[in-house]
Amino acid sequence: MLTTDVSFSLAVQAGNALADPLRKLNQLLERGVLTAEEYVV
């Protein structure tokens, strides 16, 4: 199970089209829109 910190680091390292969707997922997770289980899938 990835933490948001790890996911954010990967997004920054990727520096490509993945960065924006991952950032949006992190924002949703922080707002409680997604559960941890949904985020990992």
For position 21, what pLDDT does the model report? Answer: 83
| Phi, psi (degrees; rounded to nearest 5) at 18 | -70, -25
For position 8, what pLDDT does the model report? Answer: 66
For position 20, what pLDDT does the model report? Answer: 81
For position 24, what pLDDT does the model report? Answer: 84
The rounded distance, in Å, linking the Cα atoms of 41 and 13 is 21
In tens, the pLDDT along 1-41 reads 555 666 667 666 666 566 688 888 888 778 877 666 765 65
For position 28, what pLDDT does the model report? Answer: 78
Nearest to residue 5, comparing CAs of 13, 16, 34? 13
For position 26, what pLDDT does the model report? Answer: 82
Handedness of CA 21, 23, 24, 28 (dihedral sign): positive
The rounded distance, in Å, linking the Cα atoms of 17 and 32 is 24
